[in-house]
Amino acid sequence: MVQPSHHVGTEIRRYRPEDEAFLFRLFEASNREAKRRNPDLSIPPGFAGRYLPKTIRSALGRNGFLRVAEVDGQPAGFILALTGKTAPWDQSRTRSCFVMELHVATRFRKQGVGRFLVESAEAHYRERGYDWISLGVFADNSGARQFYDRMGFGESYLFLGKKLRK
Ligand SMILES: CC(C)(COP(=O)(O)OP(=O)(O)OC[C@H]1O[C@@H](n2cnc3c(N)ncnc32)[C@H](O)[C@@H]1OP(=O)(O)O)[C@@H](O)C(=O)NCCC(=O)NCCS
């Protein structure tokens, strides 16, 4: 198995059903971070429960990619990527994949875990003939934007928005 150059104890493995609680915790913690950055953000109660299980099921289907990163045997992060009509603006690309979720637990950040997860997804899809990987990120998530910049992602489509009420 490929190891990241800067963290020897890190491994990427397939998702197991018992990882579900970890994925929920991490997803909800990231949502809280997003809400702290932007209190206007609407995250309806029970959102994780409605969204995650079905998204996990999709990722376990054909052409999905769901992996957990472990650092010294401890779950540290996960990535969930899909293919198909997940991003209409990418339809001009014949073979594209989309990162739906990428989360690294706070105490494992800045150790190369996120990079390892993204590079694993890239390698997975590249080997299967895919030619484009994309994702969405909140504009105010400057940490993740710097991360994706370091990973070589550039802007390809912008959502614009404006408040209709003060
Ligand atoms: C974004 C996130 C996945 C990054 O994971 P990570 O494991 O800390 O990233 P890595 O350690 O692999 O960093 C890879 C590179 O990005 C840089 N980077 C990572 N986080 C950064 C930050 N907050 N600010 C600036 N640079 C950052 C690293 O310094 C490293 O740079 P290098 O190429 O010079 O070594 C993680 O911060 C996270 O889970 N955030 C909350 C959830 C989230 O925002 N997900 C993405 C939303 S789409």
Question: For the segment 74-90, what is each residue's pLDDT rounded down to a tens digit?
Answer: 999 999 999 975 566 66
Alpha carbon of 145 to ligand 1 centroid (Å): 8
Judged on CB neighbours under 10 Å (0-12, 13-18, 19+), 164 is: exposed
Ligand 1 test: best mutation among 109, 118, 142, 149, most atoms within 8 Å of CB? 109
Full residue range of the structural domain in which residue 82 is found: 10-150
> Does residue 3 lie in a domain region?
no
Is 161 domain-assigned? no
pLDDT the model gives residue 157: 84
Q: Are 115 and 148 in contact (CB under 8 A)?
A: no
Which CATH number does the domain housing residue 115 bear? 3.40.630.30
The residue whose CA is least distant from atom 23 of ligand 1 is 143
- Centre of ligand 1 from the C-alpha of residue 146, in Å: 7
Q: Is residue 133 part of a domain?
A: yes
List the chain residues with pLDDT less than 50: 1-5
Q: Count of domains in the chain?
A: 1
**C-alpha pair distances (Å), 72 with each of 22, 80, 144:** 16, 21, 24
Query: Which pLDDT belongs to residue 62?
Result: 87
Position 79 scores a pLDDT of 98
Pocket-testing residue among 41, 79, 119, 147, ligand 1, by greatest number of atoms within 8 A of Cβ: 147
- Amino acid letter, 166: K
Spatial CB neighbours of 97, under 8 Å, sequence gap ≥ 6: 63, 65, 81, 82, 83, 121, 125, 130, 132, 133, 134
155 occurs within a structural domain: no
pTM of the full structure: 0.94
* Model pLDDT, residue 144: 98
Closest ligand 1 atom to 33 CA = 41
In ligand 1, which atom is closest to the CA atom of 108?
Answer: 7
Which pLDDT value is given to residue 89?
67
Amino acid, single-letter form, for residue 79:
I
